[in-house]
Structure 1
Amino acid sequence: MRTDYSNWTPITVAEVRDLFDPIPVWWAIAGGWALDLHIGHQTRKHSDTDIVFFRDEQEAVFDRLSQDWLIYKAESGKLSVREPGEYLATTKDIWVCKDENSPWAFQLMIIDREQDEWVYRRERSIRRNWTDIRAFTTEGTPYLKPELQLLYKGGSTEIREKDQLDFERILPHLIGEERQWLSFSLQTQFPQGHPWTEVIKSYRSR
C-alpha cells in the first residue's frame, strides 16, 4: 500500500488525449484543467491531471490502461491496487502510475449515469443528459463543462482555497444559464445555503 500522496509528476493534457482517444468510451478532462481549457489558457499550476469517465464503461478503460499502467483505488484515505478484472461498483477515485515506485501520473474520477442521465452522486436528484456535460476545445479535447466542475468543487465538504479562487476566476466566463444551473444545483444540495449562491446572485444583478 502506497502512502506517498504528494508524489506527483502529472502527464499533460495532450498526453491524456493521446492515451484516451483510442479507447472507445466517453471521457473528459476534469478538475482545474477543465476550467482552464474552457477559458483557453492556463491560469495556475496544476498538481495533478484529472479525467472522468462513466462507471459502466470501466472495463474498456481498465483493459487498455492496465497494459502500461498500474491502477490504484483510493478509498477511505487509503490506496490499494485494483485487481485484474475487478469491477468497481462504488469506488469513484483512481490513481494511476507506471509502477509501484514511480510518481502518480493522472487521476481518474468515475461518474455514474442512469439511462440517458448523468447523476450527481452527492445529491442524486441533480441530473442532466449525459451528452450535455462536456465541451470541446478547438483542438478537440473534451472537458467537463465549467458549471459541473464548479459544482464538484463547491459541493465538497470543504471548499479549498484553490477551489474558491477557481470559482472567482471562472464565474465571469459563465453565461447566464450556466450560472443559473450552478446556483440551482448548489441550492438543491445545500438548502440551508451556500456561500457561492449569493455571489452568483450579486453577479447577475450587476
Structure 2
Amino acid sequence: MDIDNWQPLTVEEVSLLLKDISIPWGIAGGWALDLHIGRQTRQHKDIDIIVFRHDQQEVYSYLSQDWILYKAYKGTLEIWEGEPLEQVNDIWMKKGETSAWAFQFMFVDQVEEYWIYRRHPSIRRKASDIFLTTQEPICYLRPEIQLLYKGGSSVIREKDDLDWQTILPYLTIEEKEWLVSGLKGQFPEGHRWTE
C-alpha cells in the first residue's frame, strides 16, 4: 500500500462531504493555519480533520458506506471495521483499494468539558473553544493549538518551522502566550520556538 499516494480533497470538498455529520469537527494541519489567515501559504500533501475520540462511531457510520477507512497505528494501516479505537489516533480514507488517499481523521481526547493535549495532559482547553470558523463557514483547529501539535512533535519538520514563522504575526497576544506556555510546559528545558 503506497502511503505517499495522496490526492487530497480540497477544503471545500471536505466541508461539503461533512455538512450533514452531527458532531463537531474542524480542519487541522497546515490547512487550518491557512484558513486562519485567509490564504494558502504552501503546498499541502494531505488534509486532516480533527474530531473527538468519543465521536468515532459517528465518523464510521457516516463515511463507511462510501469510503474505505484504514486505522493507522504503529506504522501499519489496516481496514477499520468500526470497532472502538482506544489507542488508534488516525484514520485514513480512500474510495477504493487502488485509489489515492483522500483525507485523514485524527481523534483527540476529551475529559469532561476539556480537550486534552495527549503529549502533556495538563495542557487543556475547553472543548467548545478549540475550533474557529471562517466566513464560509468552515471550522478549523485554532492556530495556537495546531502550532502546539507541530512544535510539540518529537521531530519538527522544515514545513513546521515555516508554518510557525508564517503564522506567528497573525496570532493575538493571548494566542501567543497560550502557545508559549504550552511549549514550556511540555519542554521545561526549552524549545527553539520560545527563545
Given the two structures, how large is their TM-score scaled by the length of structure 2?
0.99
Q: Deviations over 1:152-202 (max 9, x none)?
A: 00000000000000000000000100000000000000111100011xxxx
State the 4+ residue runs in structure 1 displaced beyond 4 angstroms: none
Q: Secondary structure at the match of 2:12?
A: helix
Query: Are 2:17 and 1:19 equivalent residues in the alignment?
Result: yes
Corresponding residue for residue 203 of structure 1:
none
Identity %: 55
Distance 1:21 1:185 in 2: 32
Query: Are 2:93 and 1:96 equivalent residues in the alignment?
Result: yes
User: Post-superposition shift, 1:8?
Assistant: 0.3
Match of 1:56 among 45, 54, 57: 54
Corresponding residue for residue 66 of structure 2:
68
Corresponding residue for residue 35 of structure 1:
33
Match of 1:109 among 98, 106, 111: 106
Distance 2:49 2:73 in 1: 17
Given the two structures, how large is their TM-score scaled by the length of structure 1?
0.93
Q: Deviations over 1:4-37 (max 9, x none)?
A: 1110000010111111120100100000000000
Distance 2:70 2:175 in 1: 34
Q: How many residues align?
A: 195
Distance 2:112 2:24 in 1: 14
Q: Which amino acid aligns with 2:18?
A: F
Distance 2:90 2:160 in 1: 18
Corresponding residue for residue 185 of structure 1:
182
Corresponding residue for residue 153 of structure 1:
150
RMSD over equivalenced CA pairs, Å? 0.6
Distance 1:174 1:44 in 2: 18
Query: Are 2:129 and 1:128 equivalent residues in the alignment?
Result: no
Corresponding residue for residue 163 of structure 1:
160
Distance 2:41 2:48 in 1: 16
Q: Deviations over 1:106-144 (max 9, x none)?
A: 011100101100000000000110011110001110000
Unaligned runs of 5+ in 2: none
Unaligned runs of 5+ in 1: 199-206
Corresponding residue for residue 44 of structure 2:
46
Query: Are 2:80 and 1:82 equivalent residues in the alignment?
Result: yes
